Structure 1
């Protein structure tokens, strides 16, 4: 497959409309009838298509002229340049018809001419002529023969040619200053032979600056003395150039999608890219090809864990300003802000970002699109906090930043592929299989990331038949982690994250019949009462009448629990206390029962104190009792107790009541045997 960054060679490969221009230039060359050497320049920036254009010109003229391609950039030094130039010239001459035969005189003329230019060994070899000379340093023409006479002799042979010679010299703008000056001296002062037309390819700005190193005058004025017919590479229409770019980008994205990988793409930001970025920075086919090469190789590797729009912008910086690209890559801290950081941190980063933008002002609009939260200029747009979720995978998201440079996801992060595999189980009807898969992520510290991504992906894209499974799997995981971690000294948010996911999924379903059935049908759902209470208090999106039906059902179920059952059911106890506004009736009922029981006898008193110990949402029994009664009444009762008649366990409970240090989870088990 042809590399699209290579110059084109045929008209059917022409995407930029060079063909008609090439034909007109070719016709001008063929119409040139003068015998004197003629110098044409094809000028354009690197990547503007100079070589492609001259290839098209060559196609048009090669049947009627002899073409010699010469690239001095490929030669090691000036001595080799001279050797190669005349070697290739003789090769061309050997293919051309003469009115006179080759003889020893042309060997002598070439020997003498080359000895003036390159004081070293010179070899020329063709099928017709082979010669090697050992030249003396700083040799010069004989006293009896001037340089002009030598050239006149050579021209005598060249005037007998039936076909002109077109010498194409490419990549002049890649040479050193000394080499550049020598090439123009060679063209205009040494090898300006009759019947020769030169086509010189270069970036005029670079070459003019290089020539000024040796010339006292302006480099451009010097070029005007040498080049008789300057031509500029036609600037392709933006529509054409950008059409090629979009075609190549579409092909890259299509290959990613064919592999069944998701493409994350910010359409709103892309509108800014098309309007403000592409016209300013994508100016030549070289730009298009470099971007295509970078994106086609790097993007598919990490496609599912970056945003394509940001990856495009970063790749643009990589080929246009690698120093800025490296600065972003190597100093994450000067351009990425986390919402959790304090104002001082954010202000510091904003100042560092402004300093970086000033250093690279030309690319300020690219930086402000990549890091919009740090921007205060006209290029900002309403992205908001980039790292608020896992739905966009922006460069400015601290979680995804490194992916853009490592082209991989580190072991402590959740890749999109891992997420999709687990999500399929999340949407399935086998909870145990999903639980094991999720616990595997949990052990790898990726559990919270999964839920965050599910909030942005699964909630939005789940099909109706998958929603119920996902809902039930989420509430079962909420129950699992709530029970699993109730005695843990390390707080985990996973139970809460799953709870809120359940609430959102229930709202998204917008199915009143299912909602009511879930809360009221214990057989099918097998969901504990406290889980239903947790979901109910945060439920949204349903009519008030339906919510009232559910609320009434939950209150009726609570009413069946007497004081001791309520005290024993820790999770229900917690839910009522936390959500007392919704379940105030039950709390009032418990208070009445509490007041009747608390002072019934010593055994009942200590049973209640022990039952209220280490409940979630309260720190100790004193706080629990404070919710039920005036503590002065309990203090009075405690003073009436004879500590000598109390058991060891009862005395320990009193110590805790009086403010002694709490026991650790493993120590409190003795109270709940």
Structure 2
């Protein structure tokens, strides 16, 4: 691959040299070259090379030309002409002889070669003059029609023969005038130039020039081979012009035409009401050849070789590559799309480009097998690709338990998308989608997957997981998502608690922590058990620093995700006593409290509900509870300001009161609320938030409130109301002002006999 073409964008271009042949077509090319080089007949020979789009016609032609040029005896002169390049300018005939003449002049410097070149040029001028005249007359027909009508009317007024004679003469003069107006100087100069050149050439007739060409070509030892490619790109009119040029004007000895085109396309263009295109071609083409069908195994070997080159660009992608899945996907679906060279080259060049966009800082960002499959859909089934890209929720929902009507609607929608596939590829697309998106297999008469599979799909960076999906369609890391490189970096830091906790706090600064912790849960099984202390301690360290509030029943906080990460890892420690001792040791050596509080609360609930799957044994459970109370006791004495302003204050108070000494907790709270500032700090902790959303709302409405009964679980509210009654709210921060406002609103509600009925403001 050219260093300037790293993705192989130019690979779709025909090969130029025999040594570039990878599919065993060089022998056919040589045989074709030998066959046409041996033609020395008195008439021209027209050979056609048929092949479908992407079958390699031009590559075979290039190899055949290379073989012709390598001959040592009777080497023919090869001239290539592309009518398609001149078609838009309507100069096919003119440019043909001009290009042939120039080529002969370059190839053959002998006296006879120069003479042949000059004679061909002469011949082209004669034919070109006629073509220009016909074209010009066609352009002037509207004008001539008007003139003829006017003159014709005048002639009809008289029956005298001299009047009609004069009318005809006038028509001729007017026609010349119309030509001058319509064609302009260019054409008239061209016509006069050709006439002058013809006069200088001893006033030879067209027949004389043809005879001269016949004589010159007959005397040559080698033949003249004219190659015309891409004829199937021409319009019907242009095609007929080319074939007429070949048969009517170039019937000369030792001349061979090699015409390349897709047969069915050309036949269709040449078919009209009078004649079938196939019959037309049979009168022109004397020797038709078809491109030999390429062995599918060779095509696939080329495809595999180029995909291997792409994957080797990234070491981590090579390590992630699952050859078993690849084999199933290729044999089940992808193979159907690679039946010609152009598809192979077109596909692998864009795959290489998109592959380069998904290289991460340390690892590849998506599953390489899924990327290979998605790219196939993008290239060959663009409608399917577009529909999948905008149907993320449907294709990535790990389970579906809706009613029969809802399931039928989803099934109908999925089948409607798949019906957009190419007619002869629908079953292959269906199989491919089932393998890429197992979550919807149930809708395609397959199995239904449990939620537990989702973690595996995330670890493997599969397109079927919602956290990975957009990467395959945006070719970048979507905002708010954690990259695979970040996840792997995170995993590598679990052996160092400071490094791991610093990384988590950095993710919080980036605003992606909640999603990052949720994604990392799928990687818990990959954390070495030996990293247990550093990993659990780091989670406890950061637990009090990350967000802990959440609205509704489904939106977890970063704190709760951290709790889940700790629990998932601890359950991997089979020995229950070791598990509890590990948690206790981490807790004793950390300043964090909230993570362990949540673990203890969950285990306490499990005990109260007589659940058997508890995390901690009784002894370890009691030891950790005592350590929790001890930490709060110590904080209340040494740093009461930190505790009263702690994000988790209210939660701590409930557990401190239940697991510790209630009187100590109440006494401490009364001391903290002896002044207005302390009261405001306490009220801030009791502010709650809830979300609500109706069908008409585009976003959820957030409501803040304070429940007086929550405060009264610890102390009376009247002293607090009295302490803040004369407070200067202008000196309060925004949170303080909101807390006072909500507390005052709750008091007013109570006065009306309404107890904690929110929203209150």
**Measured at CA, do residues 20 and 108 of structure 1 come closer, stay the same or move farther in structure 2, by a change above 3 Å?**
closer
Distance 1:57 1:523, change over 3 A: same
Q: Tell me, yes or no, if the aligned pair for 2:540 and 2:590 is still in contact at 8 Å.
A: no
Tell me: CA distance 1:356–1:190, structure 2 relative to 1, closer, same or farther (3 Å).
Answer: farther
Identify the residue that residue 631 of structure 1 maps to in structure 2.
Answer: none
- Say whether 1:454 aligns with 2:520: yes
Q: In the alignment, what sits opposite 1:10? A: 17
Conserved 8 A contact 1:119-1:137: no
User: Partner of 2:92 in structure 1?
Assistant: 81
Structure 1 residue 507 corresponds to structure 2 residue 518: no
Alignment match, 1:102: 115
Superposed displacement of residue 89, structure 1: 1.9
Conserved in 1, the CA contact under 8 Å of 2:550 and 2:557?
no
The answer to whether the 8 A contact 1:499-1:534 is kept is no
Match for 1:164 among 220, 223, 233? 223
Contact 1:40 1:230 in 2 (8 A): yes
Q: Aligned equivalents of 1:570 and 1:254: distance in 2?
A: 55
Q: Which runs of 5+ in 1 are unaligned?
A: 122-131, 578-585, 597-602, 604-610, 627-643, 668-673
Query: Which segment is superposed worse, 375-384 or 413-422?
Result: 375-384
Cα displacement (A) at 1:23: 1.8
**Corresponding residue for 1:282?**
338
In 2, Cα distance between the equivalents of 1:262 and 1:534?
A: 45
Per-residue deviation at 1:15? 0.8
Q: Which runs of 5+ in 2 are unaligned?
A: 3-9, 136-187, 637-648, 664-669, 671-681, 689-705, 724-745
Q: Is the 8 A contact 1:36 1:193 kept in 2?
A: yes
- Inter-CA distance 530–464: structure 2 relative to 1 (3 Å threshold): closer
Change in Cα spacing, 1:256 to 1:450, as seen in structure 2 (3 Å) is same
Residue by residue, what CA displacement relative to the aligned partner does 1:458-491 show, whole Å, maximum 9, x if unpaired?
x243345444322322244445558x65999997
Query: Superposed, which structure 2 residues align to 1:169-568 within 5 Å?
Result: 169-212=228-271, 214=272, 216-257=274-315, 269-303=325-359, 304-329=364-389, 331-332=390-391, 336=395, 338=397, 343=402, 348-362=409-423, 363-364=425-426, 365-366=428-429, 368-369=433-434, 370-374=436-440, 390-430=458-498, 434-457=500-523, 459-478=524-543, 480-481=545-546, 485=549, 492-508=556-572, 510=574, 514-519=578-583, 521=585, 523=588, 530=597, 533=600, 550-555=617-622
Deviations 1:622-647 (A, max 9, x none): 89999xxxxxxxxxxxxxxxxx9xx9
1:569-648 superposed matches below 5 A: none
Mapped partners of 1:283, 1:340: distance in 2: 37
Q: Do the aligned residues in 1 keep the contact of 2:480 with 2:515 (CA within 8 Å)?
A: no
Q: Which of 62, 65, 87 pairs up with 1:58? A: 65
434-443 vs 373-382, greater mean Cα deviation: 373-382
- Please report how far the alpha carbon of residue 106 of structure 1 lies from its aligned counterpart in structure 2 after TM superposition: 6.3
Mark the CA change 1:115 to 1:387 in structure 2 (over 3 Å): closer, same or farther.
farther
Q: 1:514 to 1:337 in 2, by over 3 A?
A: closer
- Contact 2:508 / 2:546 at 8 angstroms: preserved in 1? no
Partner of 2:508, secondary structure, is helix
Query: Scaled by the length of structure 1, what TM-score is found?
Result: 0.72
Q: Is the aligned partner of 1:21 residue 2:36?
A: no
Alpha-carbon separation, structure 2, partners of 1:278 and 1:147: 59
CA drift of 1:24 comes to: 1.8
Alignment partners' CA distance in 2, 1:110 and 1:519: 95
2:42 equivalent in structure 1: 35
On the 8 A contact 1:98/1:160 being kept in 2, the answer is no
CA separation of 1:465 and 1:254: change in aligned 2, threshold 3 A: farther
Decide whether aligned partners of structure 1 residues 24 and 261 sit closer, same or farther in structure 2, where only a CA change above 3 A counts: closer
Counterpart-to-counterpart distance in 1, 2:291 and 2:58: 10
> How far off is 1:401 after superposition?
3.9
**Post-superposition CA distance 1:214-249 (Å, at most 9, x none):** 463322332232222222222222221111111111
> 1:111 matched to which residue of 2?
125
- SS of match in other structure, 1:217: coil
Q: Which residue of 1 aligns with 2:755?
A: 660
Structure 1 residue 550 displacement after superposition: 3.3
TM-score (norm 2): 0.64
CA distance in 2 between partners of 1:301 and 1:198 (Å): 47
Contact 1:36–1:196 (CA under 8 A) maintained in structure 2: yes
Aligned pair count? 596
Structure 1 residues 648 and 318: alpha-carbon distance in aligned structure 2, compared to 1, 3 A threshold: closer
RMSD: 5.4
Q: SS where residue 49 of structure 2 aligns?
A: strand
Of the structure 1 ranges 283-292 and 111-120, higher mean CA displacement relative to structure 2 is found in 111-120
- Structure 1 Cα separation of the partners of residues 382 and 550 of structure 2: 53
